[in-house]
Each structure stands twice: as structure tokens, then as C-alpha cells.
Amino acid sequence: MSVEFDEGAEVHVSNGPRADAPPAEAAPAPGRAAGAVHAARLLLVALWLGGAVFFSFAVAPSAFAVLPTRDLAGALVARTLSIVNVGGALVGLLLLATLPVGRARVRRFALWAEAVALAVVAAAAAAGHWLIAARMRDLRAQMGAPIDTLAAADPLRVAFNDLHGYSVAALSAGMLAGVAALLLISRRGRGSSKQKAEGRRQ
């Protein structure tokens, strides 16, 4: 509020800021940190999902098609799969830990769906590495010879093939959950951008 006196003793009262007052500094956007976290979460899940898809449709088939023995191909695939699975477990847990960031702008159902998808990614990847792959390594050690030299009805070979099927199923479940998480996280970002745009118009 400002009071001004003219020569004619007239008083002018103004409730607004004076024209010659210095402009106020703009406050930093409160959602800038949340936006950075959202971008990082989206990048992480996209990178893991892309790596898992590349492994499934490029690395594994190429290894068995190019390498001279199935043992070498299996060793390469097992090593690469361990990276994918450990990465999936870590990414899933990290994204679950950062799930509350910006949750005020997200519907409860979408938040729970994202949490379930990320939990499936982490659980499937962890089971694939620390349960299934670990048991497969133990069976290989017990075989003492290349798996192709064992009879098809050999109990060790049968158990190994069953575990291989479980490994494929676990990775497939993790990838499907990763797709769902990617879509949900991306949709959360679009919703936040829309709300910010509406706030600026008002």
C-alpha cells in the first residue's frame, strides 16, 4: 500500500505495488525436482526393458547360432542373463523406493498398479538370478560333462531343461511388467505436464 501527496493536497491511496518498485524475483518451480526424478525413473525402466528385449531376441539366439559349441553359447547367455536379472532387481527396487515422489498428482489406482508392476519386475529378476540360475549352475557342476552328451531322459538334463523353462517364464513376466511400468510412469509424466499447463492458463 502506498500513499502519495499532490500539490493540491489530494491524497492518492494505492493497494498495488508502485510502478517504480523493483520486480520481485520469480520463485523456483516446486515441481522441478520431481520432474527430474520422473525423467530418471522413466529412463531407468526404458534402459532395462530395452536391454532385456535385446538379450531375448538378439543375444541369446545369436550365441547359439554362431558359437561352435552349445556349452560356450550357454556360458555366454548365462553370463549376460545374470547382468539383465541383477539390473532388473536393482532397477525395480530403486523405482519402488522413488514411487512416492509426485504421488499427489497421481490417482490411487494408477499408483498401486505401478507399484505392482515394479514389484513383479524386481521379484521376477531376483528369482531368475538367485534361485533359478543358481540351481542351474549347481546342476551343470553335477553333470561333469557337456549337457548334450547326457541322455534325454537323464534326471539332471530333465531338471536343467525344466529350470530353463522357468527362467524364460520369469524373464518374460518381468518384461511384461516392465512394459506396464513404462506406460504407467510415462502416463504419470503426461498428467503432470497437463496440470502445469492448466495452472499457467489460470
SS (H, E, C) the chain: CEEEECCCCCEEEECCCCCCCCCCCCCCCCCHHHHHHHHHHHHHHHHHHHHHHHHHHHHHHHHHHHCCCHHHHHHHHHHHHHHHHHHHHHHHHHHHHCCCCCHHHCCHHHHHHHHHHHHHHHHHHHHHHHHHHHHHHHHHHHHCCCHHHCCCCCHHHHHHHHHHHHHHHHHHHHHHHHHHHHHHHHHHHHHHHHHHHHHHHC
36 occurs within a structural domain: no
- Average model confidence (pLDDT) across the chain: 85
110 occurs within a structural domain: yes
Contact 134, 141 (CB under 8 A): no
Provide the CB-side half-sphere exposure for 151 (13 A, CA).
3
29 occurs within a structural domain: no
79 occurs within a structural domain: yes
> How many domains does the chain divide into?
1
71 occurs within a structural domain: yes
pLDDT digits (tens, 9 = 90+) for 133-179: 999 999 999 998 888 899 999 999 999 999 999 999 999 999 999 99
Distances (CA, A) of 48 to 26, 180, 181, 183: 38, 13, 11, 14
- Percent of the chain exceeding pLDDT 70 equals 78
35 occurs within a structural domain: no
For residue 105, give its domain range. 44-201
If you average pLDDT over residues 18-35, what whole number do you get? 57
126 occurs within a structural domain: yes
8 occurs within a structural domain: no
pLDDT at 192: 53
pLDDT higher than 50, residue 24 = no
